[in-house]
Structures are given as C-alpha cells and as structure tokens.
Amino acid sequence: DAMVIQNPRYQVTQFGKPVTLSCSQTLNHNVMYWYQQKSSQAPKLLFHYYDKDFNNEADTPDNFQSRRPNTSFCFLDIRSPGLGDAAMYLCATSSRTTEAFFGQGTRLTVV
Amino acid sequence: DAKTTQPTSMDCAEGRAANLPCNHSTISGNEYVYWYRQIHSQGPQYIIHGLKNNETNEMASLIITEDRKSSTLILPHATLRDTAVYYCIVRVVNYGGATNKLIFGTGTLLAVQP
C-alpha cells in the first residue's frame, strides 16, 4: 500500500502558468520534504516542514512555494514555471528519527 | 551541513558482493549515515542507516569506520535488480529546533553485470 502518494505522476504545464503538485501521506509523520531532481542529478532539497514550521533552503528560488494545510498533505506551488523548472519533483516524509519514505515523484514538463 | 563524496560509478558481477564506499569526513557526532538507492524513474528507496556501530539488515550491511569519516555499504550477493544509483546521505538533525534535513550526495551508479 502506497504510504506517500504524489499526484499527478506526470504534469505538463505552460511556460509561466502556475502549477501545483500535491503530496499526501498515511504515516502521520511530522516531517515532509520536497526535492527537485533533474536528469542525471541527485535530488536537491527545496524545503521541508517540521510540523507547521517551514524551512526553506537558501538557494531555493522564490518561484517555488509550499503549503502544508495539515499533517497529511503538502503542496508545491510553482508560480511561474520556466523551461529550467522541468524536472522530477519528489516528496518524502519522516519522523524526527526514522528513515524517510519517498513518493514515486511527479515528472513536470514545461512547454 | 556535512557533505558526502562517492565514486561516480562502479561495476559488480552478479552473485558477488558489491562494496560501495562513501566519504563523510566532516560528519558531526550526532549525525547518522543513511543509504538510499534509486532505480530509474522511481522514488529513492531506504536501505540502511547507522551512527557508530556496524549495521545489517535483510538488504545490506553498513560498515562505519571508527573515526566515522567514511562508510561502506555492502550488498552481499548482487543481482541484476540491484542496478541503481546508490546515495550516501548524512542526516542533519537539529534537536534544539525544527530543522531535520536529508541532503543527498552525488551518488554511485552501480551496474551489476551478468
């Protein structure tokens, strides 16, 4: 049974058109992460939540925002997608000390 | 944040042990070493983690040097399905605050050959 679910698996958006990616979890973990992974590169942490506390990485562009309305859900908003934002976006969850569980990712294409 | 260094790629013959090294020379005393792998186009999969002692589970063994500056992931009997990118990660945990990062290293592409 999937524990970290990302929807959709594939997303096509137009250049400059806002897009939202979603992530849900059934593990009741208090930490949720968003990563960006470009082709042949390692996943790059964009930001993470510890409960409701938002932690942004210093080099995450302002174009990327996130919302966590409750424990189970977390959203990644890209305000004005550019061609360089095409990537796989990975969501993960963990408790403070357990391993992280990853979703299958959303592959974003910008046209 | 502690960084990790891994070889870009490695080959291993099917049925043989695969030994994947990782350098984390700037690791702090309360930081764990985690290993994940990622098969093409899938989300990373947890393998094993440790702090100081060697660890073993059904998937792999983790050997951490006494000074904790490096570690080795051992897949005892590699199969073709073990072909993947293996990531060594140092877990950054701020017990006094709310940050709890998981920063990926460069990864090693392990190719298991028939």
The yes-or-no verdict on residue B2 having pLDDT over 70 is no
The yes-or-no verdict on residue A50 having pLDDT over 80 is yes
pLDDT digits (tens, 9 = 90+) for B60-108: 999 999 999 999 999 999 999 999 999 999 887 666 555 678 888 889 9
Residue B91 has a pLDDT of 83
- The pLDDT > 70 percentage for chain A reads 98
Mean pLDDT calculated for residue range A75-97 = 94
The yes-or-no verdict on residue A1 having pLDDT over 80 is no
Residue B101 has a pLDDT of 81
Q: Do A104 and B105 touch (CB under 8 A)?
A: no
The yes-or-no verdict on residue B1 having pLDDT over 80 is no
**Least Cα separation, residue B16 to chain A (angstroms):** 26
Q: What angle do CA B95, B98, B104 make, to 5 degrees?
A: 85
Residue B100 has a pLDDT of 72
**Least Cα separation, residue A77 to chain B (angstroms):** 20
3-state SS, B30-79, equals CCEEEEEEECCCCCCEEEEEECCCCEECCCCEEEECCCCCEEEEEECCCC
Residues of chain A contacting B5 with CB distance shorter than 8 Å: none
Mean pLDDT calculated for residue range A5-26 = 96
Mean pLDDT of chain B: 91
